[in-house]
């Protein structure tokens, strides 16, 4: 599984090192910022940060300003770290869109547990495996098994099945499928979806019936359990 990237923002180098050491042991990749301005710049440059650990009291730009700036651009999970445990500070944080609030001093083990829980909640940490109705998709390895037996899918068939499973129970128009599986830069015919669905259903055997046709619109992935 690809390492998830966490941005740790604190003006105390000792605190950054403590947090970084615990997160690195758990398999996370940590990047550091010593103030709010640096944090925002790194966030804009990196693009793939999975979570931010953010101190409140910092030079140049405090934690509140960082949250306000980042929330205009992204819903990335944010945990605020602060020496002040006042209720009004916590309420201000939640109003701005903070996901969790941890007061210093804290147990690094508790911090890591909170990080893992939030990433599970946001699906960032558990997104490599999908399993529904006997179909298991391993995104990292690009392997699909049905009732334990591997099936051979093309790259696009794999992407299509993954998209269907992620959107289980939702009616998906051909346009939406094109935009998400073939991306917005695809100028082909929507009939290419029908061709891929037909092949995918065939390879899935009886489980191909999970992909329902919605006449005049598109498809829905539905499993009766």
Report the pLDDT value the prediction gives residue 199, as an integer from 0 to 100.
95
Report the pLDDT value the prediction gives residue 222, as an integer from 0 to 100.
92
Would you say residue 177 has pLDDT above 50? yes
Please state, as a whole number, how many other Cβ atoms lie within 10 Å of the Cβ of residue 147: 11
Report the pLDDT value the prediction gives residue 207, as an integer from 0 to 100.
95
Q: Which two tokens mark 110?
A: 């508790």
Report the pLDDT value the prediction gives residue 140, as an integer from 0 to 100.
75
Q: What angle do CA 81, 87, 93 make, to 5 degrees?
A: 50
How does strand 135-138 pair with strand 143-146?
A: antiparallel
pLDDT tens digit sequence for 104-140: 888 888 888 888 888 876 665 456 778 888 999 987 7
Q: Which two tokens mark 162?
A: 């993954």
Q: What is the mean pLDDT of residues 16-24?
A: 92
Domains of the chain: 5-121 (3.40.50.2300), 129-221 (1.10.10.10)
Helix (H), strand (E) at residue 50: strand 49-55
Check if the beta carbon of residue 96 is closer than 8 Å to that of residue 68: yes
Would you say residue 209 has pLDDT above 90? yes
> pLDDT band for position 1 (50/70/90)?
very low
Would you say residue 49 has pLDDT above 80? yes
Cα–Cα distance, 47 to 58 (Å, whole number): 23
Q: What is the mean pLDDT of residues 37-63?
A: 88
Please give the model's pTM, rounded to 2 decimal places. 0.55
Q: What angle do CA 179, 183, 189 make, to 5 degrees?
A: 70
Cα–Cα distance, 199 to 87 (Å, whole number): 57
> pLDDT band for position 161 (50/70/90)?
very high
> pLDDT band for position 183 (50/70/90)?
low
Cα–Cα distance, 12 to 1 (Å, whole number): 31
Check if the beta carbon of residue 200 is closer than 8 Å to that of residue 162: no
Average pLDDT of every residue of the chain: 85
Cα R_g (the chain), whole angstroms: 22
């Amino acid at each position: 599984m690809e390492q998830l990237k966490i941005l740790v923002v604190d003006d105390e180098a000792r605190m950054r090192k403590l947090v970084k050491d615990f997160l690195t042991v758990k398999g996370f990749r940590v990047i550091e910022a010593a103030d709010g301005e640096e944090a925002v710049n790194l966030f804009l440059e990196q693009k793939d940060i999975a979570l931010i650990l953010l101190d409140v009291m910092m030079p140049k730009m405090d934690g509140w300003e960082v949250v306000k700036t980042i929330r205009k651009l992204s819903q990335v999970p944010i945990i605020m770290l602060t020496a002040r445990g006042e209720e009004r500070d916590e309420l201000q944080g939640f109003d701005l869109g903070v996901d969790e609030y941890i007061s210093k001093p804290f147990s690094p083990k508790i911090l890591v547990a909170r990080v893992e829980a939030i990433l599970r909640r946001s699906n960032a940490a558990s997104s490599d495996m999908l399993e529904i109705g006997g179909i298991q998709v391993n995104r990292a390895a690009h392997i699909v098994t049905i009732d334990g037996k591997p099936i051979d899918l093309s790259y696009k068939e794999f992407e299509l099945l993954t998209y269907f499973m992620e959107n289980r129970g939702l009616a998906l128009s051909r346009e939406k499928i094109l935009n998400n599986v073939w991306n917005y830069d695809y100028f082909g015919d929507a009939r290419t979806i029908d061709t891929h669905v037909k092949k995918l259903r065939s390879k899935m055997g009886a489980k191909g019936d999970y992909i329902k046709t919605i006449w005049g619109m598109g498809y829905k992935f539905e499993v009766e359990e």
